Amino acid sequence: MLRKIDCVMLKVTEIEKAAAYYETVFGLKRLWQDEHSVGMGMPETDAEMVLHNHADLPKDLNVHYLVDDVLKAVENLSTQGCVIRAQPFDIAIGKCAVIEDPFGNVLAILDMTKGART
């Protein structure tokens, strides 16, 4: 079900300042940007580091896993002992949801049902 790590999200207060810092200090490349986030690329992976200031996302929810279909995954996981902490919601590329496994670990899952960013 989990296909890969799609992104690691880091909450920042100043998007532009943080993006410039990560470009200069860590050598990352801007891939895309919107009002609340910027996707930063690394040379040896297609996983992104997303710098964001989304008020509704907790600071400690960092790793997002790609699945084929969030709605189906949530339906399946809810019958397998997972608690749905955030029901599926729309994001730019598809849907996202937050689950908690029976061991207390919180995972964010997302799909790309609307297509990849260009």
* Residue 118 domain-assigned (yes or no): no
Going by C-beta distance under 8 Å and a sequence separation of 6 or more, which residues neighbour residue 55?
A: none
Whole-angstrom CA distances from 19 to 39, 51, 103 are 9, 7, 34
- Say if CB 64 and CB 6 are below 8 A apart: yes
Model confidence pTM above 0.85: no
d(Cα 55, Cα 72) in Å, to the nearest integer? 27
What does the pLDDT look like over 9-63, one tens digit per residue?
999 999 999 999 999 989 999 999 999 999 999 999 999 999 999 887 777 778 9
What does the pLDDT look like over 62-98, one tens digit per residue?
899 999 999 999 999 999 999 999 999 999 999 999 9
* Residue 81 domain-assigned (yes or no): yes
CATH number at residue 14: 3.10.180.10
Structural domains of the chain, count = 1
* Three state DSSP letters for the chain: CCCEEEEEEEECCCHHHHHHHHHHHHCCEEEEECCCEEEEEECCEEEEEEEECCCCCCCCCCEEEECCCHHHHHHHHHCCCCEEEEEEEEECCEEEEEEECCCCCEEEEECCCCCCCC
* Residue 25 domain-assigned (yes or no): yes
* Residue 67 domain-assigned (yes or no): yes
* Residue 115 domain-assigned (yes or no): no
* Residue 116 domain-assigned (yes or no): no
Q: Residue 39's domain spans which residues? A: 4-110
